Structure 1
Amino acid sequence: MLGRGRSDERQIQRTCRRKRIMIFELSECEAIIGYKFRDIELFRQCFTHASYANEHPGEKNNERLEFFGDKILDFVVTEYLFNSYPDEDEGKLTERRKNLVSKEPLTEVIFGLGLDGHINLGKSLAGNKDKNEKFFSSLYEALVAGIYIDGGLNEAEKFIYRTVLKNSKQQGFVSRQNKKAAKKDENSLVKSDKVASKENKKTEKKSEVLTLNAVSKDPKTELQEYVQKFKLGEIKYEQSGKTGPDNSPEFTEAVTINGKTVASGKGKSKKAAQKEAAASALKILLKNGKKEAKQAKKPLKKHKKVAAKAN
């Protein structure tokens, strides 16, 4: 994280007084994102929606930053996936990237960081923040661009690794300057992953039972692959409930396989609820093993009973 000198702090205070910004709010946001901006005007612009700028002449909106940040985010995540999954084809890599950088996961990141209440919106939109994921995904992309402009690619990468890639296959961040020196270590990690993968396949063949540990960080993809493997039928997700206030709703999503409800899940967004439902369905299917999975190909009766008990 970059620091600021006394003269920078005095400039920030003058800017805050002129723009009527709460100093503690800026400090709070900087602590959350893990980076201190040298250009406080740029930092404010990241949080300024076009509707607010239209009502306040002289304010700059975050649309250009969003455009730039989208490309930076795409590049960093694509490079990460390309290096982390050397054996996967373009289709699987594209699916992984979509699960990381589309509107819903970026919205979840902003809510998870607690930055959703800091967006500057116009009066006409101020009461509808929870209804438009683009407000929040745009904020994330604008922050990526802002950090890149203010501190460089290395700092932007750190932010992306801390927030979007923190739960991915290989945790931790290697700076761009140190990547060459770390290449040998990365190669050995890839080799270790391959060896571990081969060992896991041998164990699966011997036991002929899939274990709960097989559930990955992307349960929807895992469930899709499992269902296709054993030809269990079509997967569908349906919203079965919504509770809580408008500014903080909780969604309930049910997952059905071959027309039968297997499990349900809850979350702050529809995608989060679907992931929870997929994870629960996987646990039910994996618990019953390969035999149950083959029998489920018929009418999924046993899975229906298990799902009813679980719910």
Structure 2
Amino acid sequence: MTKSDLELIQQKINYTFSNPKLLEQAFTTKAFSRKNPEHMDYELLEYFGDKVLSFVLAKEFAEYFCKIKKKQLASRETECSLTQRNSELIKNENLAEKIEIAGFTKFAKKLPFERIVGKREGDLLESILGAVAVDSEWNVEAIQKVVDALLNPSSDFEKNDYEKESFIILLKKLCKKYAIQITNFQISANKDNTYTSKLTLECDGDVKKFSQKAKTEIGAKLSVARTAYLFIKKFWLYQPAEEWIENPVSQLNSLRQNKWILSAKYECSQLEKSLWTCTCIVERSEDKTVVVEVEKPSMKKAKNAAAMKALCIILNQVREDQTGRGKGLLRLILEKYI
């Protein structure tokens, strides 16, 4: 790695190293290190980078979404929604995309046959953060500047996967298809420099009003459109739970925290090299215990699949079908926690 390469990387990450060798180490693969023992590989830095990334994101979430109210921490986001936001930011696909945008893979110290793609790109981003943490002697402000330079998490705080697809367009298409009228779609500025967007839906004489608040005008519009869109899909069109539930493990945990269920336990075991089994045991009141078992290629997939299956069984057990629109616990869960 040349001096100009190091300077370019430091410029892009908004940090100047006192010890540039740490930055070089972040770009050094394990295979290259084995052939060249004088060069340490990235793995140790990646480990610490993963930890500081979680800390910095938690700090930014707290500063953006939370405030002290009556001497206690309060948030306009639920624990579940914060978990979803965090998952989207730290998932390997997102980290890899940021490294590709920065053009960093070409600087890797690797053997000719090696390719820095996919997970290895995500590892590279975490390695850089680990190098910055060590070089700055764990200076949170310095680490946060690098996180902002590479990930820019604040740009995602007013949006998520749904907004990236533009829920305003999706909502209009859905309403046109099913003859649902959109009325009173308006936005107003608030005194605290935020925006409130309001929207009303009408379908066969049934009226539903929505209101969402955000720090930006587009954020408010997207948020209220997303809320209305999901309401139509879940209630008026009554889609099966399997088609819209996200992060089932987190959803079950949210139900436990809010005392809709007594407990949710998982028992995972590896059957063979690429096959895991997971048993999910959910205890409910009135002696209604749900036990499901699934097999998947990884422990994480098995746990998610088991949680999804258990959650769907619970929703089906308590769903009231008088109106065909999913009343009962399903509605309460959606309106209060999801």
Please give the TM-score of this superposition, normalised by the length of structure 1.
Answer: 0.52
| Kept after mapping to 1: 8 A contact 2:96/2:122 | yes
Query: Bigger shift: 75-84 or 36-45?
Result: 75-84
**What RMSD over aligned residues (CA atoms) do the two structures have, in Å?**
3.4
Cα distance in 2, alignment partners of residues 120 and 222 from structure 1: 50
| Kept after mapping to 2: 8 A contact 1:53/1:122 | no
Q: CA deviation at 1:25?
A: 1.4
1:168 alignment partner, one of 128, 141, 156: 156
| Kept after mapping to 2: 8 A contact 1:82/1:93 | no
Equivalent runs, 1:198-209 vs 2, <5 Å: 199-200=196-197, 203-205=198-200
Q: Cα distance 1:166–1:81, how it changes in 2: closer, same or farther (>3 A)?
A: closer
Cα distance in 1, alignment partners of residues 146 and 231 from structure 2: 31
**Relative to total residues, which structure has the larger strand share, 1 or 2?**
2
Which residue does 2:116 correspond to in 1? 129
Cα distance in 2, alignment partners of residues 209 and 113 from structure 1: 43
Q: CA deviation at 1:82?
A: 3.1
Number of residue-to-residue matches in the alignment:
185
Structure 1 gap ranges (5+): 1-20, 171-189, 237-311
AA at the equivalent of 2:64: S
In the alignment, does 2:24 pair up with 1:39? no
Which residue does 1:89 correspond to in 2? 78
Equivalent runs, 1:120-269 vs 2, <5 Å: 120-125=109-114, 128-130=115-117, 133-151=118-136, 152-164=139-151, 165-169=153-157, 192=192, 196=195, 199-200=196-197, 203-205=198-200, 213=218, 214-215=221-222, 227-228=233-234, 230-231=236-237, 233=239, 234=243
Which residue does 1:103 correspond to in 2? 92
Note the alpha carbon deviations across 1:209-258, whole angstroms, 9 max, x for none.
Answer: 98995336xx8x9976763355463369xxxxxxxxxxxxxxxxxxxxxx
Cα distance in 1, alignment partners of residues 91 and 12 from structure 2: 21
| Kept after mapping to 1: 8 A contact 2:14/2:145 | no
Q: Cα distance 1:52–1:230, how it changes in 2: closer, same or farther (>3 A)?
A: farther
Cα distance in 2, alignment partners of residues 120 and 224 from structure 1: 47
AA at the equivalent of 1:228: K
Note the alpha carbon deviations across 1:194-219, whole angstroms, 9 max, x for none.
Answer: x63xx32xx21489798995336xx8
Cα distance in 1, alignment partners of residues 15 and 60 from structure 2: 21
| Kept after mapping to 1: 8 A contact 2:99/2:121 | yes
Cα distance in 2, alignment partners of residues 65 and 44 from structure 1: 11
Which residue does 1:73 correspond to in 2? 53
| Kept after mapping to 1: 8 A contact 2:56/2:140 | no
Query: Bigger shift: 66-75 or 33-42?
Result: 33-42
Q: CA deviation at 1:95?
A: 0.6
Q: Cα distance 1:139–1:40, how it changes in 2: closer, same or farther (>3 A)?
A: same
AA at the equivalent of 1:121: K
| Kept after mapping to 1: 8 A contact 2:133/2:143 | yes
Q: CA deviation at 1:30?
A: 1.5
**Relative to total residues, which structure has the larger helix share, 1 or 2?**
1
Cα distance in 2, alignment partners of residues 88 and 40 from structure 1: 40
Q: Percent identity?
A: 21
Q: CA deviation at 1:154?
A: 1.3
Structure 2 gap ranges (5+): 66-74, 159-189, 203-207, 212-216, 246-338
| Kept after mapping to 1: 8 A contact 2:26/2:45 | yes
| Kept after mapping to 1: 8 A contact 2:200/2:210 | no
AA at the equivalent of 1:107: A
Q: Cα distance 1:230–1:75, how it changes in 2: closer, same or farther (>3 A)?
A: farther
Q: Cα distance 1:215–1:60, how it changes in 2: closer, same or farther (>3 A)?
A: same
Note the alpha carbon deviations across 1:110-162, whole angstroms, 9 max, x for none.
Answer: 1111112212223342xx333xx221111111111111221222111111123
AA at the equivalent of 1:26: L
Q: CA deviation at 1:39?
A: 0.1
Bigger RCO (CA 8 Å, 6+ sep): 1
1:115 alignment partner, one of 77, 92, 104: 104
Cα distance in 2, alignment partners of residues 222 and 53 from structure 1: 54
